[in-house]
C-alpha cells in the first residue's frame, strides 16, 4: 500500500533521514520504533507532505506522493494523528471531529463517520459539547485519533499515541488501535514505547539515527537480543 524507497530528508543542514526503505501492506499494523531524534516523526511528517524529501520516493497505492501538498495527501486517504495530541483546544469535541471530516463533501458519509467514531469512543460522545482543551490527556489522545478517523483514511498514521499517558490509559488506547485495525484501517504506528508497539503490531522497523537498523515480524523482533537490550530495558 505504502512504499518508501531511499527516502532522504534534511532540516536545513541536518541530514535527518538517510535513505529509508519501508513498506506498509494493506490491513497491517506496522510500528516504527526508535529513540529520541532517530527520525521517527520526520518520517511521518515527510509522508504527510509537511516536509519535502531531498531524495527518494514515497508511493501510495502505486502513486508517487512525495511531491504532493499535505491537503492532497489527506484526500488520497492518509490521515495523521499528530504527536502531543494537537487537538483544537478552543473548539468542542464535535467541532474538532467536524474539522476531521473537512475533506469530505458528502453529508451522509460525514454522518456515518460520526456514528462510527462515537461507537469506537463512547467517551467522546458523552463529552461531545465539551471544549477539547478541558479534556483529560487520554481523552485528548482519543479525540486526536478519532479526528484522524473522520476523514475515513485507508492509512492511519499515529505519532506517539502513548506520550504522557498513564499505563492503564495507554493499554486502552492500544486496544482501540487494534480494533480500528480489525475494522479494516491500515495503521502505521510510531512509538517510543517499544514493548507496547511490538505487542500490537504485525511488523516492526527499528530506526536509528536516520537509518533502518532492524526490521521484521514483531513477534520475532521482540525476542531479538539487540532490541531487548536497546529498547526493552532487558539485559
Partner 1 sequence: MKNILSQMLLPQFHKFYIAAIILTLIFLPLLGLSQYVLRIMIMIGIYAMLAMGLNMLTGYTGQVSLGHAAFYAIGAYVSALLATTLQLNFFIAMLAGVVVAAISSLLLALTTLRLTGTYLSIATLGYGEIIRMILLNWEPVTNGPLGVRNIPRPSFLGYELTLANNGIYYLMLVLLGIISLLCYLIINSKIGRAFIAIKEDELAAQFMGIKTTGYKVLAFVISASIAGAAGSFYAHMIRYIDPNTFTFDTSILMLSIVILGGMGTFRGMYVGAAILIAFPEALRFLAAYRFVVYGLILVLMMRFRPQGLLGWRSSNPYRLSKQVSEMLAQEGNREITLKPFEGKEEAVKG
Q: Which residues bind partner 1 (CB under 8 A)?
A: 48, 50, 69-71, 74-75, 79-82, 86-92, 95, 98-100, 102-103, 126-131, 134, 147-148, 151
The answer to whether 97 and 38 have CB atoms below 8 angstroms apart is: no
> At its nearest, how many Å lie between partner 1 and the CB of residue 23?
23
> At its nearest, how many Å lie between partner 1 and the CB of residue 147?
7
Cα separation of the two ends of the chain: 36
Comparison of 52 and 75: residue with beta carbon closer to partner 1:
75
Handedness of CA 90, 94, 97, 102 (dihedral sign): negative
Comparison of 113 and 227: residue with beta carbon closer to partner 1:
113
Comparison of 97 and 222: residue with beta carbon closer to partner 1:
97
Q: In angstroms, how far is CA 182 from the centroid of its own chain?
A: 16
The answer to whether 142 and 173 have CB atoms below 8 angstroms apart is: yes
Find all residues with CB under 8 Å of 111, minimum gap 6, and list them. none
Handedness of CA 20, 215, 176, 86 (dihedral sign): negative
> At its nearest, how many Å lie between partner 1 and the CB of residue 103?
4
Comparison of 80 and 180: residue with beta carbon closer to partner 1:
80
> At its nearest, how many Å lie between partner 1 and the CB of residue 131?
5
> At its nearest, how many Å lie between partner 1 and the CB of residue 195?
27
If you write DSSP's letter for every residue of 175-207 in order, what string do you get? HHHHHHHHTT-EEEEEES-HHHHHHH-SEEEEE
Comparison of 139 and 221: residue with beta carbon closer to partner 1:
139
Amino acid at each position: 500500500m505504502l512504499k518508501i524507497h531511499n527516502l532522504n530528508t534534511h532540516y536545513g543542514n541536518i541530514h535527518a533521514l538517510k535513505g529509508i526503505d519501508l513498506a506498509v501492506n494493506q490491513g497491517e499494523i506496522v510500528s516504527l520504533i526508535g529513540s529520541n531524534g532517530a527520525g521517527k516523526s520526520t518520517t511521518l511528517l515527510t509522508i504527510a507532505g509537511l516536509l519535502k524529501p531531498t531524495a527518494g520516493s514515497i508511493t501510495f497505492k502505486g502513486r508517487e506522493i512525495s511531491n504532493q501538498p499535505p491537503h492532497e495527501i489527506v484526500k488520497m486517504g492518509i490521515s495523521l494523528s499528530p504527536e502531543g495530541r494537537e487537538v483544537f483546544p478552543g473548539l468542542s469535541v464535535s467541532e474538532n471531529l467536524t474539522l476531521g471530516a473537512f475533506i469530505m463533501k458528502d453529508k451522509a458519509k460525514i454522518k456515518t463517520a460520526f456514528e462510527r467514531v462515537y461507537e469506537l469512543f463512547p467517551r467522546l460522545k458523552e463529552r461531545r459539547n465539551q471544549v477539547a482543551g478541558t479534556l483529560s490527556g487520554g481523552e485528548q489522545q482519543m479525540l486526536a485519533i478519532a479526528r484522524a478517523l473522520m476523514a475515513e483514511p485507508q492509512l492511519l498514521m499515529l505519532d506517539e499515541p502513548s506520550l504522557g499517558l498513564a499505563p492503564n490509559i495507554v493499554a486502552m488506547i492500544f486496544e482501540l488501535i487494534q480494533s480500528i485495525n480489525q475494522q479494516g484501517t491500515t495503521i502505521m504506528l510510531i512509538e517510543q514505547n517499544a514493548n507496547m508497539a511490538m505487542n500490537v503490531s504485525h511488523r516492526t522497523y527499528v530506526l536509528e539515527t536516520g537509518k533502518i537498523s532492524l526490521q521484521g515480524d514483531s513477534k520475532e523482533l521482540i525476542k531479538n537480543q539487540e532490541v531487548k537490550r536497546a529498547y526493552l530495558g532487558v539485559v
